[in-house]
Structure 1
Amino acid sequence: MTHSMASAVKSLHLNLDRAGDWIAPLALRVLLAWEFFESGLEKFNGQNWFADIQNRFPFPFNHVSATLNWELSMWAELVFAITLLIGLGTRFSAFSLIVVTVVATAAVHWPADWHTLSELAQGYAISNKGYGNFKLPLIYLVAFTPLLLSGGGKLSLDALLARFFWRH
Protein backbone atom coordinates (compact mmCIF):
# COMPACT_ATOMS: atom_id res chain seq x y z
CA MET A 1 0.00 0.00 0.00
CA THR A 2 1.43 3.34 -0.99
CA HIS A 3 1.82 6.16 1.49
CA SER A 4 -0.90 8.27 -0.17
CA MET A 5 -3.36 5.36 -0.16
CA ALA A 6 -2.65 4.63 3.52
CA SER A 7 -3.12 8.31 4.26
CA ALA A 8 -6.45 8.34 2.38
CA VAL A 9 -7.68 5.27 4.29
CA LYS A 10 -6.61 6.80 7.60
CA SER A 11 -8.39 10.06 6.70
CA LEU A 12 -11.54 8.12 5.72
CA HIS A 13 -11.51 6.24 9.03
CA LEU A 14 -11.06 9.48 10.95
CA ASN A 15 -13.99 11.12 9.13
CA LEU A 16 -16.18 8.06 9.67
CA ASP A 17 -15.30 8.10 13.38
CA ARG A 18 -16.24 11.78 13.60
CA ALA A 19 -19.54 11.22 11.77
CA GLY A 20 -20.20 8.15 13.88
CA ASP A 21 -20.08 10.16 17.10
CA TRP A 22 -23.04 12.15 15.77
CA ILE A 23 -25.00 9.75 13.57
CA ALA A 24 -24.66 6.27 15.11
CA PRO A 25 -26.32 7.03 18.48
CA LEU A 26 -28.93 9.19 16.75
CA ALA A 27 -29.86 6.33 14.41
CA LEU A 28 -30.28 3.95 17.36
CA ARG A 29 -32.30 6.51 19.30
CA VAL A 30 -34.66 7.19 16.38
CA LEU A 31 -35.24 3.51 15.65
CA LEU A 32 -35.82 2.52 19.27
CA ALA A 33 -37.96 5.58 20.01
CA TRP A 34 -40.18 4.78 17.04
CA GLU A 35 -40.61 1.14 18.07
CA PHE A 36 -41.38 1.84 21.71
CA PHE A 37 -43.60 4.87 21.08
CA GLU A 38 -45.61 2.82 18.62
CA SER A 39 -45.99 0.05 21.23
CA GLY A 40 -47.02 2.60 23.86
CA LEU A 41 -49.63 4.07 21.51
CA GLU A 42 -51.06 0.61 20.86
CA LYS A 43 -51.51 0.19 24.61
CA PHE A 44 -52.91 3.73 24.98
CA ASN A 45 -55.53 3.05 22.29
CA GLY A 46 -56.08 -0.62 23.12
CA GLN A 47 -57.52 -2.91 25.74
CA ASN A 48 -55.51 -4.23 28.68
CA TRP A 49 -54.69 -7.89 28.05
CA PHE A 50 -52.09 -8.16 30.83
CA ALA A 51 -54.55 -9.98 33.14
CA ASP A 52 -54.19 -13.01 30.83
CA ILE A 53 -50.41 -13.15 31.41
CA GLN A 54 -50.08 -11.64 34.89
CA ASN A 55 -48.76 -14.92 36.33
CA ARG A 56 -45.86 -14.85 33.85
CA PHE A 57 -44.54 -11.44 34.92
CA PRO A 58 -41.21 -11.62 36.77
CA PHE A 59 -40.74 -10.29 40.30
CA PRO A 60 -41.70 -7.64 41.41
CA PHE A 61 -44.17 -7.03 38.58
CA ASN A 62 -46.02 -10.27 39.36
CA HIS A 63 -47.05 -8.72 42.70
CA VAL A 64 -48.82 -5.66 41.28
CA SER A 65 -52.10 -5.51 39.44
CA ALA A 66 -52.38 -6.09 35.71
CA THR A 67 -53.81 -2.58 35.43
CA LEU A 68 -50.77 -1.02 37.10
CA ASN A 69 -48.42 -3.11 34.93
CA TRP A 70 -50.32 -1.96 31.83
CA GLU A 71 -50.08 1.69 32.88
CA LEU A 72 -46.38 1.42 33.83
CA SER A 73 -45.54 -0.25 30.54
CA MET A 74 -47.60 2.14 28.42
CA TRP A 75 -46.29 5.33 30.04
CA ALA A 76 -42.70 4.07 30.11
CA GLU A 77 -42.90 3.29 26.39
CA LEU A 78 -44.42 6.69 25.57
CA VAL A 79 -42.38 8.95 27.85
CA PHE A 80 -38.99 7.25 27.56
CA ALA A 81 -39.37 6.93 23.79
CA ILE A 82 -39.69 10.71 23.59
CA THR A 83 -36.78 11.36 25.94
CA LEU A 84 -34.71 8.80 24.04
CA LEU A 85 -35.54 10.48 20.73
CA ILE A 86 -34.40 13.91 21.90
CA GLY A 87 -31.47 12.45 23.80
CA LEU A 88 -32.50 13.68 27.24
CA GLY A 89 -31.50 11.35 30.06
CA THR A 90 -30.50 8.85 27.40
CA ARG A 91 -28.87 6.35 29.73
CA PHE A 92 -31.80 6.40 32.15
CA SER A 93 -34.30 6.15 29.28
CA ALA A 94 -32.38 3.25 27.75
CA PHE A 95 -32.18 1.47 31.11
CA SER A 96 -35.92 1.97 31.72
CA LEU A 97 -36.82 0.58 28.30
CA ILE A 98 -34.42 -2.32 28.86
CA VAL A 99 -36.44 -3.17 31.99
CA VAL A 100 -39.68 -3.00 29.96
CA THR A 101 -38.12 -5.25 27.32
CA VAL A 102 -36.84 -7.83 29.83
CA VAL A 103 -40.26 -8.00 31.52
CA ALA A 104 -42.01 -8.33 28.15
CA THR A 105 -39.57 -11.04 27.09
CA ALA A 106 -40.16 -13.01 30.27
CA ALA A 107 -43.94 -12.62 30.17
CA VAL A 108 -44.66 -12.86 26.45
CA HIS A 109 -41.72 -13.75 24.22
CA TRP A 110 -39.76 -16.42 26.12
CA PRO A 111 -40.67 -20.04 25.35
CA ALA A 112 -43.04 -21.48 27.95
CA ASP A 113 -41.29 -24.83 27.95
CA TRP A 114 -37.84 -25.82 26.69
CA HIS A 115 -35.42 -28.52 27.73
CA THR A 116 -32.44 -28.18 25.40
CA LEU A 117 -30.55 -25.31 23.82
CA SER A 118 -31.81 -26.42 20.40
CA GLU A 119 -35.40 -26.09 21.66
CA LEU A 120 -34.58 -22.66 23.10
CA ALA A 121 -32.94 -21.63 19.80
CA GLN A 122 -36.26 -22.24 18.03
CA GLY A 123 -37.59 -19.24 19.98
CA TYR A 124 -35.05 -17.00 18.27
CA ALA A 125 -37.74 -15.99 15.79
CA ILE A 126 -40.01 -13.08 14.95
CA SER A 127 -43.17 -15.23 14.78
CA ASN A 128 -44.17 -17.54 17.60
CA LYS A 129 -44.60 -21.06 16.29
CA GLY A 130 -44.92 -22.57 19.74
CA TYR A 131 -41.34 -21.92 20.87
CA GLY A 132 -41.51 -18.26 21.88
CA ASN A 133 -40.34 -15.33 19.81
CA PHE A 134 -37.54 -13.47 21.55
CA LYS A 135 -35.54 -12.39 18.48
CA LEU A 136 -36.89 -8.83 18.28
CA PRO A 137 -36.61 -8.11 22.02
CA LEU A 138 -33.04 -9.41 21.94
CA ILE A 139 -32.25 -7.09 19.01
CA TYR A 140 -33.68 -4.20 21.03
CA LEU A 141 -31.54 -5.11 24.04
CA VAL A 142 -28.41 -5.19 21.88
CA ALA A 143 -29.35 -1.84 20.29
CA PHE A 144 -29.85 -0.27 23.74
CA THR A 145 -26.40 -1.37 24.93
CA PRO A 146 -24.34 1.41 23.27
CA LEU A 147 -26.85 4.04 24.42
CA LEU A 148 -26.71 2.75 27.99
CA LEU A 149 -22.90 2.57 28.01
CA SER A 150 -22.01 5.64 25.92
CA GLY A 151 -25.03 7.92 26.09
CA GLY A 152 -26.96 9.73 23.39
CA GLY A 153 -24.04 10.96 21.32
CA LYS A 154 -23.10 14.45 20.22
CA LEU A 155 -26.48 15.17 18.63
CA SER A 156 -28.50 14.94 21.85
CA LEU A 157 -29.86 17.22 24.53
CA ASP A 158 -27.58 15.41 26.98
CA ALA A 159 -24.53 16.59 25.00
CA LEU A 160 -25.91 20.11 24.63
CA LEU A 161 -26.62 20.37 28.36
CA ALA A 162 -23.19 18.94 29.22
CA ARG A 163 -21.50 21.54 26.99
CA PHE A 164 -23.58 24.33 28.54
CA PHE A 165 -22.95 23.31 32.15
CA TRP A 166 -19.27 22.46 31.69
CA ARG A 167 -18.70 25.85 30.10
CA HIS A 168 -20.20 27.75 33.05
Structure 2
Amino acid sequence: MRSALSPLNHALTRLDRLGAWSADIPLRLFLAWEFYESGLEKWNGQNWFVDIQSAFPFPFNLLPPDLSWQLSMWVELIAPLLLLLGLGTRLATLALMVLTVVAIAAVHWPAHWSSLAELALGYSISDKGYGNYKLPLIYLVAALPLLFKGAGRLSLDALLFRNRA
Protein backbone atom coordinates (compact mmCIF):
# COMPACT_ATOMS: atom_id res chain seq x y z
CA MET A 1 0.00 0.00 0.00
CA ARG A 2 2.81 2.37 0.89
CA SER A 3 4.53 1.89 -2.46
CA ALA A 4 1.27 2.60 -4.30
CA LEU A 5 0.99 5.99 -2.58
CA SER A 6 4.62 6.91 -3.17
CA PRO A 7 4.14 8.24 -6.73
CA LEU A 8 1.09 10.20 -5.57
CA ASN A 9 3.00 11.65 -2.61
CA HIS A 10 5.88 12.53 -4.91
CA ALA A 11 3.54 14.30 -7.34
CA LEU A 12 1.80 16.18 -4.53
CA THR A 13 5.14 17.28 -3.08
CA ARG A 14 6.16 18.65 -6.47
CA LEU A 15 2.82 20.45 -6.78
CA ASP A 16 3.34 21.92 -3.29
CA ARG A 17 6.74 23.27 -4.31
CA LEU A 18 5.37 24.71 -7.55
CA GLY A 19 2.40 26.21 -5.72
CA ALA A 20 4.64 27.90 -3.16
CA TRP A 21 6.19 29.87 -6.02
CA SER A 22 3.29 30.39 -8.37
CA ALA A 23 -0.16 29.76 -6.87
CA ASP A 24 -0.92 33.48 -6.58
CA ILE A 25 0.01 34.33 -10.18
CA PRO A 26 -3.29 33.25 -11.80
CA LEU A 27 -5.22 35.37 -9.29
CA ARG A 28 -2.99 38.36 -9.89
CA LEU A 29 -3.34 38.01 -13.68
CA PHE A 30 -7.11 37.48 -13.54
CA LEU A 31 -7.80 40.43 -11.25
CA ALA A 32 -5.34 42.69 -13.04
CA TRP A 33 -6.97 42.00 -16.40
CA GLU A 34 -10.54 42.44 -15.17
CA PHE A 35 -9.94 45.69 -13.28
CA TYR A 36 -7.60 47.22 -15.87
CA GLU A 37 -10.17 46.56 -18.57
CA SER A 38 -12.77 48.39 -16.47
CA GLY A 39 -10.36 51.28 -15.94
CA LEU A 40 -9.80 51.57 -19.68
CA GLU A 41 -13.55 51.69 -20.25
CA LYS A 42 -13.74 54.63 -17.85
CA TRP A 43 -10.71 56.28 -19.49
CA ASN A 44 -12.42 56.09 -22.90
CA GLY A 45 -15.99 56.61 -21.71
CA GLN A 46 -18.31 59.22 -20.28
CA ASN A 47 -18.83 59.79 -16.57
CA TRP A 48 -22.09 58.05 -15.63
CA PHE A 49 -21.45 58.35 -11.88
CA VAL A 50 -23.63 61.49 -11.83
CA ASP A 51 -26.67 59.21 -12.19
CA ILE A 52 -25.70 56.85 -9.35
CA GLN A 53 -23.69 58.98 -6.91
CA SER A 54 -26.52 58.99 -4.36
CA ALA A 55 -26.45 55.17 -4.32
CA PHE A 56 -22.80 55.11 -3.22
CA PRO A 57 -22.32 54.11 0.42
CA PHE A 58 -21.04 56.64 2.96
CA PRO A 59 -18.55 58.37 2.74
CA PHE A 60 -18.24 57.89 -1.04
CA ASN A 61 -21.67 59.44 -1.63
CA LEU A 62 -20.26 62.74 -0.31
CA LEU A 63 -17.64 63.03 -3.05
CA PRO A 64 -18.39 64.95 -6.24
CA PRO A 65 -19.20 62.55 -9.11
CA ASP A 66 -16.24 63.78 -11.18
CA LEU A 67 -13.84 63.03 -8.32
CA SER A 68 -15.42 59.60 -7.77
CA TRP A 69 -15.04 58.86 -11.48
CA GLN A 70 -11.38 59.89 -11.49
CA LEU A 71 -10.58 57.95 -8.30
CA SER A 72 -12.30 54.86 -9.62
CA MET A 73 -10.59 55.09 -12.99
CA TRP A 74 -7.10 55.61 -11.57
CA VAL A 75 -7.48 52.83 -9.00
CA GLU A 76 -8.60 50.52 -11.82
CA LEU A 77 -5.60 51.53 -13.96
CA ILE A 78 -2.81 51.66 -11.36
CA ALA A 79 -3.71 48.90 -8.88
CA PRO A 80 -3.80 46.19 -11.61
CA LEU A 81 -0.32 47.17 -12.73
CA LEU A 82 0.84 46.84 -9.14
CA LEU A 83 -0.78 43.39 -8.99
CA LEU A 84 1.06 42.31 -12.13
CA LEU A 85 4.37 43.39 -10.62
CA GLY A 86 3.52 42.07 -7.19
CA LEU A 87 4.35 45.49 -5.74
CA GLY A 88 2.28 46.80 -2.86
CA THR A 89 -0.01 43.87 -3.53
CA ARG A 90 -1.99 43.99 -0.30
CA LEU A 91 -2.63 47.74 -0.57
CA ALA A 92 -3.55 47.47 -4.26
CA THR A 93 -5.86 44.54 -3.49
CA LEU A 94 -7.52 46.41 -0.62
CA ALA A 95 -8.14 49.43 -2.88
CA LEU A 96 -9.73 47.19 -5.52
CA MET A 97 -11.84 45.45 -2.90
CA VAL A 98 -13.16 48.77 -1.55
CA LEU A 99 -13.92 49.85 -5.11
CA THR A 100 -15.79 46.58 -5.68
CA VAL A 101 -17.87 46.90 -2.52
CA VAL A 102 -18.88 50.43 -3.57
CA ALA A 103 -19.77 49.12 -7.04
CA ILE A 104 -21.86 46.31 -5.57
CA ALA A 105 -23.74 48.77 -3.35
CA ALA A 106 -24.29 51.36 -6.08
CA VAL A 107 -24.81 49.27 -9.21
CA HIS A 108 -25.00 45.52 -8.66
CA TRP A 109 -27.12 45.07 -5.54
CA PRO A 110 -30.85 44.66 -6.12
CA ALA A 111 -32.73 47.92 -5.60
CA HIS A 112 -35.63 46.19 -3.84
CA TRP A 113 -35.79 42.81 -2.17
CA SER A 114 -37.93 41.52 0.64
CA SER A 115 -36.66 37.98 1.15
CA LEU A 116 -33.48 35.98 0.85
CA ALA A 117 -35.06 34.17 -2.10
CA GLU A 118 -35.46 37.50 -3.92
CA LEU A 119 -31.93 38.53 -2.97
CA ALA A 120 -30.62 35.23 -4.33
CA LEU A 121 -32.11 36.09 -7.73
CA GLY A 122 -29.45 38.81 -7.99
CA TYR A 123 -26.70 36.23 -7.80
CA SER A 124 -26.40 36.21 -11.56
CA ILE A 125 -24.32 37.74 -14.31
CA SER A 126 -27.30 38.93 -16.33
CA ASP A 127 -29.47 41.65 -14.88
CA LYS A 128 -33.13 40.75 -14.96
CA GLY A 129 -34.24 43.37 -12.46
CA TYR A 130 -32.90 41.58 -9.40
CA GLY A 131 -29.35 42.97 -9.36
CA ASN A 132 -26.27 41.22 -10.68
CA TYR A 133 -23.70 40.91 -7.94
CA LYS A 134 -22.26 37.50 -8.86
CA LEU A 135 -19.25 38.71 -10.83
CA PRO A 136 -18.13 41.39 -8.36
CA LEU A 137 -18.53 38.84 -5.58
CA ILE A 138 -16.24 36.49 -7.51
CA TYR A 139 -13.68 39.32 -7.70
CA LEU A 140 -13.88 39.85 -3.95
CA VAL A 141 -13.40 36.16 -3.21
CA ALA A 142 -10.49 35.93 -5.68
CA ALA A 143 -8.85 38.95 -4.03
CA LEU A 144 -8.95 37.53 -0.50
CA PRO A 145 -5.85 35.30 -0.81
CA LEU A 146 -3.84 38.25 -2.14
CA LEU A 147 -5.02 40.44 0.72
CA PHE A 148 -4.25 37.82 3.38
CA LYS A 149 -1.07 36.29 1.96
CA GLY A 150 0.35 38.94 -0.37
CA ALA A 151 1.81 38.46 -3.82
CA GLY A 152 3.88 35.37 -3.10
CA ARG A 153 7.48 34.54 -3.89
CA LEU A 154 7.48 35.66 -7.54
CA SER A 155 6.86 39.32 -6.86
CA LEU A 156 8.63 42.59 -6.29
CA ASP A 157 7.24 42.59 -2.76
CA ALA A 158 9.14 39.36 -2.03
CA LEU A 159 12.30 40.65 -3.69
CA LEU A 160 12.25 43.99 -1.88
CA PHE A 161 11.27 42.71 1.55
CA ARG A 162 12.98 39.30 1.56
CA ASN A 163 15.56 40.28 4.18
CA ARG A 164 13.02 41.84 6.54
CA ALA A 165 11.30 38.60 7.52
Letter in 2 for 1:30: L
Distance in structure 1 (CA, Å) of the matches to 2:164 and 2:51: 50
Superposed CA deviations along residues 122-144 of structure 1, whole A, max 9, x for unmatched, are 00000110000000000000000
Q: Which residue of 2 aligns with 1:119?
A: 118
Q: Which residue of 1 aligns with 2:50?
A: 51
Distance in structure 1 (CA, Å) of the matches to 2:137 and 2:3: 43
Distance in structure 2 (CA, Å) of the matches to 1:147 and 1:16: 20
* Aligned partner of residue 23 in structure 2, secondary structure: helix
* Aligned partner of residue 74 in structure 1, secondary structure: helix
How much does 1:121 deviate? 0.3
Alignment coverage as a number of residue pairs:
165
Letter in 2 for 1:73: S
RMSD: 1.1
Normalising by structure 2, we get a TM-score of: 0.97
Q: Which residue of 1 aligns with 2:6?
A: 7
Higher mean Cα deviation, 33-42 or 22-31? 22-31
Normalising by structure 1, we get a TM-score of: 0.95
Higher mean Cα deviation, 95-104 or 3-12? 3-12
Superposed CA deviations along residues 8-47 of structure 1, whole A, max 9, x for unmatched, are 2222111111111222201100010000000000001110
Distance in structure 2 (CA, Å) of the matches to 1:96 and 1:115: 31
Letter in 2 for 1:101: T
Letter in 1 for 2:147: L
Query: Which runs of no fewer than 5 residues in structure 2 stay unpaired?
Result: none
Letter in 1 for 2:141: V
Letter in 2 for 1:147: L
Superposed CA deviations along residues 25-71 of structure 1, whole A, max 9, x for unmatched, are 01100010000000000001110000000110001000010000000
Distance in structure 2 (CA, Å) of the matches to 1:77 and 1:18: 32
